Amino acid sequence: MKRLITTLLIMTITTNFAQEQAQDTVLQNEQKMQWFKDAKLGIFIHWGLYSVNGIDESWSFYNGYISHENYLKQTKGFTAKKYDPQAWADLIKRSGAKYSVITAKHHEGFALWDTKFGDFNAVKGSAAKKDVLTPFVSELRKNNLKVGIYYSLPDWSYHDYTHFTRDSIRYKISDEPKRWNKFLNYYQGQLKELSDNYNPDLYWFDGDWEHNSQEWEVPKVRQMLFDNNPNTILNSRLREQGDYATPEQGMPITRPKNKFWELCLTMNDSWGFQKNDHNYKTTDQIIGIFADVIGNGGNMLLDIGPKGDGSIPEEQVAILEGLGRWTNKHKEAIYGTRSGIPKEHFYGPTTLSKDGNILYLFVKGDSNGEVVIRGLKNRINRIYVVGEGTKLSHQVIGKVYWSHYPGINYIKLPEHVLDENLTVLAVMLDGKVDLYREDGAVIESN
């Protein structure tokens, strides 16, 4: 009997310890992800050899649109003569972004820093003849912007990597394990360089689909990065062993299930610079997508594609400046907020203050002079226009004494308070937002 009691006691202690450890892990992850959750906006930068002739990054030779030999000729045009990392960082900060992710190495293997692993980099293998990654990271740090490093796991130009083009595979790992180990040492060596030299706040991996977790040695890589910085964040493209999801291009129609997620989005239809791609989204469209993203609890990583000389296309600069005007005006409704209310209650994006006491409404156009909130059980203390302060009046319709149905709030929206892109209203509540989520009431007595 004593032995049974002792066994049960040990099992209870072990279970409690395991639960406490799990809770500690969740808490540590929440703390690690806090800056990312609050940041809302990042700027993605696709810059490399493909920026010279304006062709598809890496995929152009992989898919056979151009030979690998001709693709590599772009090294002669990667001059970075107009590259101004200080101006880049300043523009990113003015856009309202809180972090930036740059393609340190894309699938073709060209590295922007002075790596000791091979000569295919901006210093030894291009007309620029200089490290272009280090000064940019330095400028981000000076501007208190978080540093994100994009790194491609595949390296289609490296002779000891398995894949080369869509219809050409160099070897199978099972046939040549020593050759694969040589590649593992190469790519993991580069990652250690990036970790030691730049200590990124975030790693943005890509290309993990070509091999499984065991082949990439994902657990080993994760541990190496966390040993150097336990607070670094990894995206999901490390065989799903990351901290957040990365939907690409298409804004999710329904709210993602992941607690942390980021929509990566191009300004036109291309990631890198494409001289013939003039299909730019308007500033209105980008702001509208951004509002949808943060209203659903995510971040937006908006992409720019500098040219081979390091200059940023004028269209992209104009979009970032227009975005920056809007984000600066409406920062209280953006940064540090949480996902808003279901769209049955307001036909548009919404966010909430961290304490849930302020509801922010993102209003497209003039809304016919009237904004509607349905099923809000809270009493409204005040409504004002974000960024310019005008107090607005409202009226409650449909609330009757015999039902707990809260009625419908109609907010008057005069034309003179409208923002040129997207107007934001702040609705101050008498406590944490409380919504009516039932069927409408039926009269049983009157």
Q: Which residues contact 69 (CB under 8 A, 6 or more apart)?
A: none
Instruction: Tokens for 238, please give them.
Output: 């490390």
- Using one digit for the tens of pLDDT, what is the confidence trace for 50-59? 999 999 999 9
Tokens of 226: 């966390």
What number is the average pLDDT over the span 110-139? 97
Whether 150 maps to a domain, the answer reads yes
Angstrom distance (rounded) from CA 96 to CA 321 = 9
**135 vs 243, more confident:** 135
Burial 431-440 (b: 16+ CB within 10 A, else e): eebebbeeee
Are 59 and 180 part of one and the same domain? yes
Phi-psi map region of 16: left, alpha, beta (phi>0 left; psi -120 to 50 alpha): alpha
Q: What single DSSP character describes residue 340?
A: -
Q: What is the pLDDT of residues 154-167, one digit of tens each?
A: 999 999 999 999 99
Q: Return the residue matching tokens 């791609």.
A: 277
Assigned domain for 29 exists:
no
Could you tell me if 312 and 409 lie in one domain?
A: no
Q: Which of 333, 368, 403 is the last residue of a domain?
A: 333
The total of structural domains in the chain comes to 2
Examine the domain organization and report whether 289 and 356 are in the same domain. Answer: no
Q: Spell out the residues 6+ positions from residue 442 whose beta carbon is closer than 8 angstroms to its own.
A: none
Q: Are residues 77 and 145 in the same domain?
A: yes
* Best CA proximity match to 49, nearest among 88, 103, 116, 119: 103
**Which residues pair with residue 371 across a beta bridge?**
411
Q: In terms of residue numbers, what domain contains 325?
A: 40-333
pLDDT higher than threshold 60 for residue 440 = no
- On whether the CB atoms of residues 397 and 407 are closer than 8 A, the answer is yes
Q: In the listed set 308, 333, 358, which residue is the last one of a domain according to the structure?
A: 333
Residue 50 Cα distances to 58, 106, 137, angstroms: 7, 10, 21
Same-domain check for residues 95 and 181: yes
- Residues 305 and 409 both lie in one domain: no
Q: Would you say 217 and 188 are in contact if contact means Cβ atoms under 8 Å apart?
A: yes
Residues 255 and 389 in one domain: no
319 and 226 both lie in a single domain: yes
Mean pLDDT score of the chain, rounded to an integer?
Answer: 92
Specify the range with the lowest mean pLDDT, choosing from 4-18, 20-34, 166-180, 360-374.
4-18
Residue 342 lies in a domain: no
- Do the domain assignments include residue 1? no
Co-location of 64 and 200 in the same domain: yes
Task: Indicate if 178 and 255 belong to the same structural domain.
Answer: yes
Asked if residues 302 and 41 have their Cβ atoms less than 8 Å apart, the reply is yes
Residue 224 belongs to domain with CATH number:
3.20.20.80
Q: Using CA atoms, how far apart are residues 265 and 277, in angstroms rounded to an integer?
A: 15
Name the pLDDT band for 257 (thresholds 50, 70, 90): confident
Rounded distance between C-alpha atoms, residue 262 and residue 43, angstroms: 11
For residues 78 and 171, membership in a common domain is answered with yes
Residue 423 belongs to a domain with what CATH number? Answer: 2.60.40
How far is C-alpha 414 from the chain's CA centre? 35
7 domain residue, yes or no: no
Would 115 be classed as within a structural domain?
Answer: yes
Residues 286 and 323 placed together within one structural domain of the fold? yes
pLDDT digits (tens, 9 = 90+) for 369-392: 999 999 999 999 999 999 999 999
Residue 130 banded pLDDT, cuts 50, 70, 90: very high
The whole-number pLDDT of residue 112 equals 98
